[in-house]
Structure 1
């Protein structure tokens, strides 16, 4: 009789009853994960590892669930055990590196990925993760090579294309990356950003505006997203006009019934060509927008030109420790304080405030940033 084959037969218990139970547990666990029942899936994963300790899929599943709960340390141990049992797996090299990056161990992640690259020289995912590790290690030239290789192997990978573009030409993202990112994110954006990532930038900007006496006027909300910033402003700051590059985000913002005009497109282009956004505005706000654009000189100038005399520009940035602009492994850009202040001076804007702010969590760690408030003379 021909021996039955299957994708998870290697490592199953020799006892047929235990082997059957392991298969049942793995199927049940994956179904629970798909249903979003992560606590139940975690319980199943622990039982599965106990029943089938030599099954790489068991440890891999435990690692996946651990990553879903933010337990990156448990995930790293689980993926390492799985990789030991299945040493040629490209997926496990990638999964382990992701857990190590979440633990802020980029050197260890790069070591794992170098081993994976030797085994799988044409795997785009390995080069994509290696680029992230190299960026976290402060090796932009090496990261550019890795992301470029990933794009060559998988041309439709928008993230790798974005990273290669931003590294090759400082501060220039890949066309279409941000729109696609936020279109895919629109349905879960509010809950994920304000919940798991602890995003509070709109509230911080609103408080800073009140502190400086701006409580009434017209507002331009650039990169408005689903309307979180507009919702944080008092009704006295209406009418509010909104622009976003993502059609699905604009559709969500429309549901709030806050905005006077809403339009999808590139903000700098719309400000230059669309009468609905001619202003002048008492306030222009860009909450977590510049971090996705990188080089903001053109948009910054357009915003300054749309302000009324005495009008204010409020925005957030992720702070870069160096000078100018830096691309992060997250795909977002950091800007230095000096870069922002130079732009303000060049556009006739006085800096009223620069307030340190935790922008969000990234890999369970706070991202340092700042909120700026500028005023036109």
Structure 2
């Protein structure tokens, strides 16, 4: 269980919840849901418990009951740190949100930081940092100041460190930033929220802010639906002639973006291309590639190398 789900405050409820988890892991979601309901009778205000019940009900094929449990989660957790709104959207009970709750993303990566690299690189064949760095290196430029948005544990930093005189990293998760700091490749690390307007994002502190001639975002934009906020931020951050290299999950043709069962967003090439044009970026290269595995299946992505026009 994650740190936000460890205890209901009731020993018996916790024990039943532990048994429920074991049942679900053993392929018995219906039995897990029944036991979780018993736990929640003892701890009815346990938001994490209602979220876990909802996931068991969903796996058991009881969609309406799952919706009610996700709604109860939201009632008890107004910040939505578990992402119940995303689950409700996938179940057809709510519109697809433009972006996930910031506290959900922050909590997700705070809890994930210690095992992030092992899970992503060793188990999911994650290769975006190397592929994105190769795109950047193809420009044959030496950058004065590079900014790595959504730097996470710093997987991209070592790949582009030699290309930049100064390298700054920003992320929503403090635990991820702590891991990135251990690599000792960033000159500056700070917290920022890419889902907010530029003046509220935390990226433009007068003490640290400088225009960048390289901006990167490796596997970051899939945690946003509507990308207007992040493109506005990059437009403010990037100097004239700056390069912007980033990845998205490929939504294919049609809709601008959609929410996948993974709770990540996929974006269409047409949508991203339109936003780039609106914010003054020309496309230098587009590469379609597999960016990771999910459930043993390849996930298609698009890598963009762009340049801000003068």
Instruction: Give TM-score scaled by structure 2 length.
Output: 0.75
In 1, the alpha carbon distance for the partners of 2:146 and 2:193 equals: 18
Q: Please tell me whether residue 364 in structure 1 is matched to residue 296 in structure 2.
A: yes
Query: Residue 219 of structure 2 aligns with which residue?
Result: 288
Coordinate RMSD, CA, aligned: 3.2
User: Cα 1:163–1:265, aligned 2, differ >3 Å: closer, same or farther?
Assistant: farther
Answer yes or no: is the 8 Å Cα contact 2:33–2:56 preserved in 1.
no
Answer yes or no: is the 8 Å Cα contact 2:141–2:163 preserved in 1.
no
Query: What are structure 1's unaligned runs of at least 5 residues?
Result: 1-56, 65-77, 95-121, 135-141
User: Cα 1:323–1:276, aligned 2, differ >3 Å: closer, same or farther?
Assistant: farther
In 1, the alpha carbon distance for the partners of 2:124 and 2:35 equals: 26
Answer yes or no: is the 8 Å Cα contact 1:320–1:336 preserved in 2.
yes
In 2, the alpha carbon distance for the partners of 1:328 and 1:266 equals: 22
Q: SS in structure 1 opposite 2:108?
A: helix
Answer yes or no: is the 8 Å Cα contact 1:356–1:369 preserved in 2.
yes
In 2, the alpha carbon distance for the partners of 1:296 and 1:127 equals: 29
Q: SS in structure 2 opposite 1:172?
A: coil
In 1, the alpha carbon distance for the partners of 2:220 and 2:244 equals: 13
Residues 94-150 of structure 1, C-alpha deviations (whole Å, 9 max, x = no match): 9xxxxxxxxxxxxxxxxxxxxxxxxxxx9754643676899xxxxxxx98x776423
Instruction: Give TM-score scaled by structure 1 length.
Output: 0.62
Higher helix share: 1
In 2, the alpha carbon distance for the partners of 1:183 and 1:361 equals: 22
User: Cα 1:88–1:347, aligned 2, differ >3 Å: closer, same or farther?
Assistant: closer
**Structure with the larger RCO, 1 or 2 (CA within 8 Å, 6+ apart):** 2
Give 1 or 2 for the bigger CA radius of gyration: 1
Q: CA deviation at 1:188?
A: 0.9
Q: Please tell me whether residue 192 in structure 1 is matched to residue 125 in structure 2.
A: no
Q: SS in structure 2 opposite 1:343?
A: helix
Q: CA deviation at 1:226?
A: 0.8
Query: Residue 163 of structure 1 aligns with which residue?
Result: 87
In 2, the alpha carbon distance for the partners of 1:153 and 1:89 equals: 20
- Corresponding pairs, count: 264
Query: Residue 320 of structure 1 aligns with which residue?
Result: 251
Answer yes or no: is the 8 Å Cα contact 1:225–1:246 preserved in 2.
yes
User: Cα 1:146–1:315, aligned 2, differ >3 Å: closer, same or farther?
Assistant: farther
Query: What are structure 2's unaligned runs of at least 5 residues?
Result: 1-18, 37-48
